[in-house]
Structure 1
Amino acid sequence: MIVLWNALVLHARWGGMVKDRGLAALAIGGNIVTGWSDRGRVVDESGGTSQEAKLYLLDNPDVHQWALDHELLTTTREELLEDEEIIRHDVEFGAQQEAYDAIQGDTDEGTQEQRREAFLALPENAGFRDDLRRRKAHTFGFDDDVVELYVDFNNLTDKGFARDRFRLDNSRLDLALTDDAVMGDGAFVAVDPDMVPDAEHDRLLARWDAQITTYEDDIPDSHRLVSNTAERQRLIEQDRQRLFLANPAFEQDYQRFQAHGKFIQPQFVEDYVAYYGLPESGSARDRYLKERPDFYAEMQAKLEWTGVIDFSKVPTEKFEEALGFYEALPKGSPRYQYRANNAWFDKEGVALGKWKPYNPERYTPTDPIQAIIDETERRLEELEEAARGWR
């Protein structure tokens, strides 16, 4: 009926124009008749004041102007343009907006905010999500280019430092986000570039997110209830080692993740991985640092090590292995005889400050002492063989 009524009104007004102004008025007739009739169909489907009807006028300014000129409509183009973003959003995403607005209150599935964020995160809602953020950006008065930066910024994960790096790379957006006059209570804190790790940190986080969370945060309640600190830590470390065994590539990548998070320079990251791959007990780590003074300086600076290693007191690997055998011998003559048989070992022990030089007048070598040394060596070899079998 509305289409018919519009056509009749148009016919009557057109007839008046021809009568009053002559055939020249017909020059605007064809396209206007079609356009006005098309608008009538939109009005039939959605209503005369619907967003769909307003969008039709926005997209067909000639029809709109003609209707204004002939007093068929009163809403000006300026009024429509002022609400254009809302109009287009409502027409394109009306169903999604309705579903989004229907998410109210907290439930067992999460808070209202969490549930709405989950709705926006659905792939099929990507366009709606971006448009919603554009509308929000416009409420802050952002320029068009900053609006799109704001949309891109919010599409980045909030895990890691991707958003901080984006702000550092886009100063206009960052200036807007940190401006109290623009953002009010929602103004962002300025990003300290010295506190933002490189992109590799976030790449590793994305790859091992679940494992990192388990390693760092998922401590069973049964462990937390253990009152003995040392035992509690032993249980936690035991679980962490199991996690590494279940994910062999994760162990080294976790150390890389840590290195990037501590701002270790890229050229030292693999040294960091190798260093923490060495046993904590013994002197292997100190030897590694002794052989790499630049890496040692980097670790002192970035990890704020306050102690200074006296590398003159760091034993060689050969000495450390021999020392294990030496300390397995009974104290007294057997140990002294071992030093007599291994002058290099005795000399390094003196240099390390472990003992005074061997004095041949102190003990006289005897066969029973040598037998003890030989037996100790045999037993240690058996233990070593057994240990290899368990690996």
Structure 2
Amino acid sequence: MLDTKEEEHATTEEPTFDVYMRFNGDEERDYCFQVHLNTKFGDLMEIFKVLPLNLSPSIFYDRLPIGFQLSTNPGILTREGGLLFGDDADKKQYLKRMNNDDVISEHAWPGQLIIPLFSKKKYLQYSVIVGLIVWLYTDLPDYISPTPGHSLTTMAVKGVSSLLRKINQDQMADNLVESMLEPVPEVMQWVFFAFHIVKDLIIYFVLWVGGFNPYSFTKKPAPIDRDDLLRIGWTSAKKAPVFDFSKEYRQYKVKQVGGTLKAYKSGVLDSIKDTTVTLGAGEGFQTPLCAKLSKDKVESDKFYLSYEYLRLQEEAFQKRHSTLSDLEFARQYKHYRRFGPFDAPKEFASKAQERIKISTDQEKKEKEQKEKKRD
């Protein structure tokens, strides 16, 4: 939606930085927003009030969150020094409940993931469960049902056939009644009942996972415009899952050298076999907020974040793409927000690649030890 350099970098009097907000409890919907240095977690509530969508995990949750959680999962380090979130980012042990009055910049790294916390609609959930059970009860085989011939399915068929007769579709109505309501053997009644069980389970599953999650049953969302989107820091970019990054990165590197054959001969294919590494405790987003790393951390085999690192990484991107048109710059910056850098300077990429190699070597060593024990 925001597709110019001006829109990607909304002009404000104070600096901004990016954070990511998870929508609908879906790791493929981690959207990027720009916030100010003094933005509080409670201010993020405006996102859910402005966007004309239900962004809760499912119909069984309130539309507006009651608070926010900061994901402290260390993250996934890419080969070029970027950070992704990974599958465990929303696990309970990594979620830190934040007060709405907490200032985001005092607790979160730029690029860190924030997960909204929603209140459950337990009454609605239980009502749906009871409704489906009642529906299932009415569909019991007639020969054991206390109320034979009064199933909701039967009533629905009779209602539809009545409507068909009113529009002079008697033959269609007769066929419907004959196929659905004619007496059938007991075995077939149990087959139909099993079908109704599966039907109810599918309905509940679709509701549970958010397959049907309307904004509201009673009102339409208010219209929004460009100013509304800029006010909430909308960028339209969303963070890539690890699989998507690896696929995109490998395709980029192969294309960069002229195809698969050249990539194989030049050793590129072998070098991009491992594109990411899962960081451990204290690394990545678990690094204490600091402007510059101490000497022992710089020389460590672990990967630590610092504001200096993020600043230099951003400056490298800006310099590399400074000659692009506004439209092309916006496109590249959206790609950068989604995947991280693809052609990072050596000082960034080498540190990341060393960390990946350490992890790969350790995995090989552990595998060899297991094989020796088997022998």
Question: TM-score with structure 2 length normalisation?
Answer: 0.19
TM-score (norm 1): 0.19
Q: Identify the structure with bigger relative contact order (alpha carbons < 8 Å, sequence gap 6+).
A: 2
Q: Which structure has the highest strand share of the two? A: 2
**Higher gyration radius (CA):** 1
